[in-house]
Chain A
Amino acid sequence: MKIIQLIKKLTLIDFIKGFIVTLKAFFRRKVTVQYPEVKTPLSPRFRGKLALMRYDNGEERCIACKLCSAVCPAQAITIESEERTDGSRRTVKFDIDAFKCIYCGFCEEACPVDSIVETNIFEYHMTENQQRIQTKEMLLATGDQYRDQTIENKKKDSRYR
């Protein structure tokens, strides 16, 4: 045994093996990208920032059934509802605590009217603690802003549902 070890030590075989691995990796295709100049592709199923969607005529989809807040494992959703003057059931308050949210997507699954959706936006920030609360207006604005992209993603994913 000692002789084998002695030969290994003298010929630097392990050393060379290590270099070979490095050399192979040197010529392999790169998996890292220069974020944020370059971005990796996202799956249409990616679960990012939450948003509230509207119908084509601009009417908000949410009917205040509160199934999303019931199913939310982190209890991040707070909803208050009442009868709107036209007799329909609507929310007066729809708050999501972005710090509590764990992006599990259960709310999206539970929603009977496809109102709450997860967009593939993952890069957003806030500078103050209070800003973690996403109000109904903010969520609807997010929905409006990324509407086309989100709809396209949901369409792509619908085949597998």
Chain B
Amino acid sequence: MSDNKKIIVTIDGIEHEAQQGQMLIELTDQTGTYVPRFCYHEKLSIAANCRMCLVEVENSNNALPACATPVIDGMVVKTKSKSAKTAQESTMEFLLINHPLDCPICDQGGECELQDLAYTYGKNQSRFDIQKQTKKNDDLGPLVSTDMTRCIMCTRCVRFGTEIAGIQELGTIGRGEDSNISTYVSQTVDHELSGNIIDLCPVGALNNKPYRYTDRTWELDQVESISPHDCIGTNIMVHKKDDIIRRIVPKNNPDINEAWIADRDRFGFDGIYSEDRVSNALIKSDKDFDESKLSNAIDQVVEHIRSCENENRSIAVLFSPSSSTEEQYLLSDLCHQLGITAIDSRLRQGEFINDLDRRFTPHMNITLSEVDTMKNTLVIGSDLRKETPILAHRVKKSADSGALIHSINAHSSEYHFKIDQDLSTDNWVNNIGLVLKAAINLTKNHLPNNIADHLDLLDEPTAEHEKVAASMCQDNSLIILGLNAYSNHKYQLIRSYVHILASVCKTNLCELSEGSNTIGASIHHTINDGAENIQNTSEILQSKHDLLIMYGFEPNDTIYKNELIECMKSANSLVVFTPYMNEHFQQYADIVIPINTHYESDGSMINLELRNQTFNHNQIVSSDQFSNVEVLMSLYQGMDMQSKSIDEINESIQKGIEIIMNSSERISLIPKVTQAKPIAESAIEFNMYNIDNVLRRSKPLQQTKEGIGKE
């Protein structure tokens, strides 16, 4: 396979250069010759069971399947000759024997591969007049609908289960004509990527359940976008009709998400049509809210800020790490100009040390596609599959090609790949220290006294720790620091261990961050490096404020829910910028200003590999709503302040990204123990369908096992 010798293959009379070991269908796809196919998919293994891609090859007695025929030097292939065409037409006739003619009610109608190819290769009249087969429909849960009679047994969904998801949820049972796709024992598909079988299915057998029977494909408009639910920056296509989002499908981006998206990216949008959306600005008088004009509410906020400013009282701002970089920048810059130092967006970080946090922004120093090529990966404090399903898939890919994956976490998490060393115990933070110690022993590095003294206090590393350390010290190794560690009250210690381990072993480092745009939120700090003494979330929550401003999140989004509610209670006035109303806002907020959710705004987001991606949902939102940036700009106007223009902001963002990208420095000291309180296990627990306000309100996701299992 690795032989890179170029060979010549003739396709339909034109000579093409091909690579040894390539399959014929890959070459025809490259050269733009279309060969019909159902079971072949470039991201899946080759099954060659649909037989639709039969082509004529010279010197071969019968037609050969292009997807399973390797190219040979001097091969002469005819894809449109009479014999190829006859073979393809015959295959199509067999496929259509049992396929129902219910295209008018099938959601796949209009984007169906079978329907498209039937126009070219199908016969007008069926010659089959014996009774057609029907099959039993399995209930696959709230996300995927089934019409198994339509199945043509291409087994793409089965191969997806074994090869991509790593858990075989669907399988083939029965033989020949009686074969059937089924879950073996009756159960739902619960994998975090399982929605992708909807796109994979070439016919309408597996379909989008919430979208079922609502629209036809030709009615939908398509808008490119970025998913806001994790730090990966998954590329998506939003399909909308009449200014309402109908469904979301993946956008193929080989550098980020390939052809896959997580279920929460696909079904999460349902939350924006929740009934508790705030449509008008609300101002509290006595105990009830009065609806008011947005401009009035903004004026009131300005008044609040002014009065606090004049009397030198404290103002604190907390904002969502998932809002766009522009919003975050405007908000940070407003505070900067007003001299407000209490501003933060880190709602799930367990321990703060301002100096370290500001100098080292969590990000990854390689690209996502390079994760595939890693040979040794250590996953620390992470339920990787839940936190970042796409990254977990990348790690799985590397594991499939022989990489060793180790895990250190508070609890053993379920993985869809083999874990070589699992050091998950209650004392897991210690285990990281021991791995570091073992690595230092192994590399004989000289360390600053601070670290050496600290490590001397630990036990001696065992053979397991040494194994992990040895594996990390090899080339192409990667450490992933997950969100479980991020939310731990010993986060700073863990982070220092990891940074030192990464510099000792010269491994790559990937630090996951909360929300979709934590890096964007840190840009303003990065540019105005150390200009002021900024307070962090923990400090903000501990003190009493005269004015607390919350932007774009709700108490359930943080791990400090109780502390935040206390803080909201104690604040003299509480201003909330939120798309949704909830009981806490109802009770404590003084002014509520409606803002748009991600799917209704435009801007940019920076993913964990520092890729700046823009999205524009202006085509989705109806024009009478103010955009989030406009709302913030009106705050500037009210305060008689000059905001930066979008171009200037973009320039600053670019500058900030470059600063982060160019700093290859890593933490090289063990921090002093802070007095951070341990955070309740239930608060840290990462429920992947309960991490932001949109997902929490998505009906289909809340009906899944993960959704029901939430506290």
Chain A residues in the interface with B (C-beta under 8 A): 63-67, 70, 80-83, 89, 112-113
Contact = CB atoms under 8 A, between A and B. Distances in A.
B212 A83 contact: yes
Interface in B200-219: 212-216, 218-219
A114 to B, nearest CB: 12
A55 B214 CA distance: 23
Given A70-B218, A80-B214, A81-B215, 9 more contacts: A64-B105, A64-B213, A65-B104, A65-B216, A66-B219, A67-B104, A82-B214, A83-B212, A89-B105
B139 to A, nearest CB: 12
B104 A83 contact: no
25 contacts: A63-B104, A63-B105, A64-B105, A64-B213, A65-B104, A65-B105, A65-B109, A65-B216, A66-B216, A66-B219, A67-B104, A70-B216, A70-B218, A80-B214, A81-B213, A81-B214, A81-B215, A82-B213, A82-B214, A83-B212, A83-B213, A89-B105, A89-B213, A112-B104, A113-B104
A87 to B, nearest CB: 9
Contacts of A82: 213-214
Contacts of B109: 65
Contacts of B215: 81
Contacts of B104: 63, 65, 67, 112-113
A112 B100 CA distance: 14
A83 B208 CA distance: 13
Contacts of A67: 104
A154 to B, nearest CB: 20
Nearest to A65: B104
Contacts of A113: 104
A83 B218 CA distance: 19
Interface of B: 104-105, 109, 212-216, 218-219
Contacts of B214: 80-82
B465 to A, nearest CB: 56
Main secondary structure on B side of the interface with A = loop
A70 B105 CA distance: 14
Closest 6 pairs (CB-CB, A-B): A65-B104, A89-B213, A89-B105, A83-B213, A112-B104, A66-B216
Contacts of B216: 65-66, 70
Most chain A CB within 10 A, of B105, B212, B218, is at B105
Nearest to B101: A112
A109 to B, nearest CB: 14
Contacts of A63: 104-105
A82 B105 CA distance: 11
Contacts of A80: 214
Contacts of B105: 63-65, 89
A66 B109 CA distance: 11
Nearest to A67: B104
Nearest to A83: B213
Contacts of A112: 104
Contacts of B212: 83
Contacts of A89: 105, 213
A113 B219 CA distance: 21
A65 B214 CA distance: 10
Nearest to B241: A80
A138 to B, nearest CB: 22
A63 B102 CA distance: 10
B391 to A, nearest CB: 35
Contacts of A66: 216, 219
B124 to A, nearest CB: 16
Most chain A CB within 10 A, of B212, B215, B216, B219, is at B216
A66 B105 CA distance: 9
A147 B215 CA distance: 29
Contacts of B219: 66
A47 to B, nearest CB: 22
Contacts of B218: 70
B213 to A, nearest CB: 4
A65 B218 CA distance: 11
Nearest to A88: B105
A45 to B, nearest CB: 24
Contacts of A64: 105, 213
A91 to B, nearest CB: 10
Nearest to A80: B214
A113 to B, nearest CB: 7
A82 B246 CA distance: 12
Nearest to B218: A70
A89 B215 CA distance: 11
A62 B219 CA distance: 18
A81 B211 CA distance: 11
A9 B380 CA distance: 117
A4 to B, nearest CB: 69
A7 B104 CA distance: 77
A65 B215 CA distance: 9
A67 B218 CA distance: 10
A112 B219 CA distance: 19
A26 to B, nearest CB: 58
B102 to A, nearest CB: 9
Contacts of A83: 212-213
Most chain A CB within 10 A, of B212, B213, B215, B216, is at B213
Nearest to B107: A89
A41 B104 CA distance: 36
Nearest to B109: A65
A54 B218 CA distance: 27
A66 B218 CA distance: 10
A89 B213 CA distance: 6
Most chain A CB within 10 A, of B104, B212, B218, is at B104
A22 to B, nearest CB: 58
Nearest to A81: B213
B314 to A, nearest CB: 52
A105 B216 CA distance: 21
A114 B43 CA distance: 43
B160 to A, nearest CB: 26
A82 B215 CA distance: 8
A100 B109 CA distance: 27
Nearest to B104: A65
Nearest to A84: B213
A123 to B, nearest CB: 33
Nearest to B105: A89
A89 B104 CA distance: 10
Nearest to B216: A66
A2 B218 CA distance: 74
